[in-house]
Amino acid sequence: MRVTVALNPTAGGGRHGTRLDAVLDALGRHVDVEVLTTRSAADALAGYREAVERGTDALVAIGGDGTFHTALQAVAGGRTPIGLVPTGTCNDLADALGLPPDPVDAARSVGAALAAGRTREVDLARIDYPDGRSVRYASVLMIGYAASVAERGGRLRWPSGPRRYDVAAVLQLPSFRAEVYEVELDGVAATLPAVLFAVGNTRRFGGKLHVCPSARFDDGLLDVATMGPNNLVATLGTVGRLFSGVPRASDTSTRRFRVRSVHVANPGLLVCADGEALPPPPFTITGEPGALVVPQAGGADGDR
C-alpha cells in the first residue's frame, strides 16, 4: 500500500520534531511511505490533491488538528482514506478517533489499520458561503470570544501545550462580550444571545473541553451549543465544568440543539474550526454523513 504523508514538523510548537524519524519508521513498517514536502498550507493542499489524483492509496497527516483540517479538504466526499498521527497542541481530533496519544504508537496503529484495510466512514461538517466557497471541518466550529481565544492561543509560544489557551483566554478578556446570534436551525429562525457559540461534529475542543458532549462522528447530525449570556465569573465556572463532559442542571444558560443544518446570519464575527481561522459569516453549516474514510485504528466517539 502506498501512503502519502502530510508532514508538519512545526505542529505543537515542534515539540515532537525529534521523533519524526521514529514516527515515519513506525508507519513504514506497515505501508510504503511517500513524504510530501510543502512550504505552506496552500502548498500542502495542492500537494495532497495532486497525490489523490495520482491514485495514492491513503493520506496520513502528521501534525495537529489544523494539519488534518488542511488534508481532509483533498479527500472529503471521496474514498481515499486519511489517517492522523497527533503531534499538535491539543489533539482533540485524535481523541475523537480513539488514537493513542503517543505519536509513534499512533503511527504504528494507523499504519497497521491501513495495511489491513480496516477503515470506517465518519461525518464531516460543510460550511457554504454565499459566494460559492465551501470548507469542511471535522471537529468543532467556534464563533466569537472562544474563536478569538483559539486564534490567539495558536499564535502564543509560551506556555507549551494546552495551557497556552488558558493564557490566551485571559489576554482576550477585553473582547469578552455576548453576541446575539441570528440563526436558522433546520430552517427554523431563532435568536440566541450567547458568549459561546459552537457547532460540533465531535465532542471536544481546545484541550479536552467537552463543548458538545452529545456530538457523534457517525450520526449525520450537528450539535449546536450556546452558553450565556453570563458575566465573566459565571462563564468561567461553566467553562471549567466542561472538562468533565457531564452536563450540569445548574448551567441553565447552556442550550443545546441537534440539527442537520444551521445558518448563521451575523456578518464579520471571528470564526475557527479544527483550530484554524475561517472566513466570517454569513454561512450555512450542513452535516455530511460518511463523508470521510479513516483507518479503524482504535475506538472513536461514535463507539463510546
* pLDDT at residue number 291: 97
* pLDDT at residue number 228: 74
Task: Give yes or no for residue 304 having a pLDDT over 50.
Answer: no
* pLDDT per position as a tens digit, 144-192: 776 766 665 666 566 666 665 566 666 656 666 678 999 999 999 999 9
- Of the residues 117, 152, 183, the one at which a domain ends: 117
Give the count of domains, the chain: 2
- Of the residues 84, 117, 150, the one at which a domain ends: 117
Query: Is 298 within a domain?
Result: no
Give the domain extent around 30: 2-117
Of the segments 43-52, 114-123, 191-200, which one has the largest average pLDDT value? 114-123
What pairing do the DSSP bridges indicate for beta strands 283-295 and 2-7? Answer: unpaired
Task: Residue 224: give its domain's CATH number.
Answer: 2.60.200.40
Higher pLDDT, 157 or 89: 89
Question: What is the rounded CA–CA span in Å between residue 178 and residue 171?
Answer: 17
Question: What is the rounded CA–CA span in Å between residue 299 and residue 97?
Answer: 6
In this prediction, residues 279-283 reach a mean pLDDT of 97
Question: What is the rounded CA–CA span in Å between residue 87 and residue 267?
Answer: 34
| Residue 168 sits in the same domain as residue 240 | yes
| Residue 234 sits in the same domain as residue 110 | no
| Residue 191 sits in the same domain as residue 90 | no
Query: Is 300 within a domain?
Result: no
| Residue 110 sits in the same domain as residue 144 | no
3-state secondary structure of 227: strand
Residue 38: which residues within 8 A CB-CB, separation 6 or more? Answer: 6, 7, 44, 47
- Of the residues 117, 144, 172, the one at which a domain ends: 117
Q: In the 8-state DSSP scheme, what is residue 99?
A: -
Q: Are 160 and 15 in contact (CB under 8 A)?
A: yes
CA distances (Å), 37 to each of 4, 34, 43, 52, 88, in order? 10, 10, 9, 15, 18
* pLDDT per position as a tens digit, 239-263: 554 444 455 555 556 889 999 999 9
Query: Is 299 within a domain?
Result: no
pTM, two decimals, is 0.86
Query: Is 304 within a domain?
Result: no
Query: Is 127 within a domain?
Result: no
| Residue 140 sits in the same domain as residue 280 | yes
| Residue 111 sits in the same domain as residue 42 | yes
* pLDDT per position as a tens digit, 201-211: 998 876 667 78
| Residue 84 sits in the same domain as residue 214 | no
| Residue 65 sits in the same domain as residue 167 | no
Task: Residue 55: give its domain's CATH number.
Answer: 3.40.50.10330
| Residue 144 sits in the same domain as residue 205 | yes
3-state secondary structure of 27: helix
Range scoring the smallest mean pLDDT among 48-57, 94-103, 233-242: 233-242
Question: Can you read off the three cell numbers belonging to residue 5?
Answer: 504523508
Query: Is 122 within a domain?
Result: no
Query: Is 9 within a domain?
Result: yes
* pLDDT per position as a tens digit, 76-88: 999 999 999 998 8
| Residue 147 sits in the same domain as residue 285 | yes
* pLDDT per position as a tens digit, 133-142: 999 999 999 9
Strand order of the β-sheet with 58-63 is 32-36, 2-7, 58-63, 82-86
246 burial (CB, 10 Å; 0-12 / 13-18 / 19+) is exposed
Query: Is 264 within a domain?
Result: yes
Residue written as grid cell 475506538: 299
Query: Which residues sit opposite 191 in a β-bridge?
Result: 182
What b/e sequence results for 5-30 when a residue is b if at least 16 CB atoms lie within 10 Å of its CB, and e otherwise?
Answer: bbbbeebbbeebeeebeebbebbeeb
Q: What is the mean pLDDT of the chain?
A: 84
| Residue 107 sits in the same domain as residue 147 | no
| Residue 103 sits in the same domain as residue 204 | no
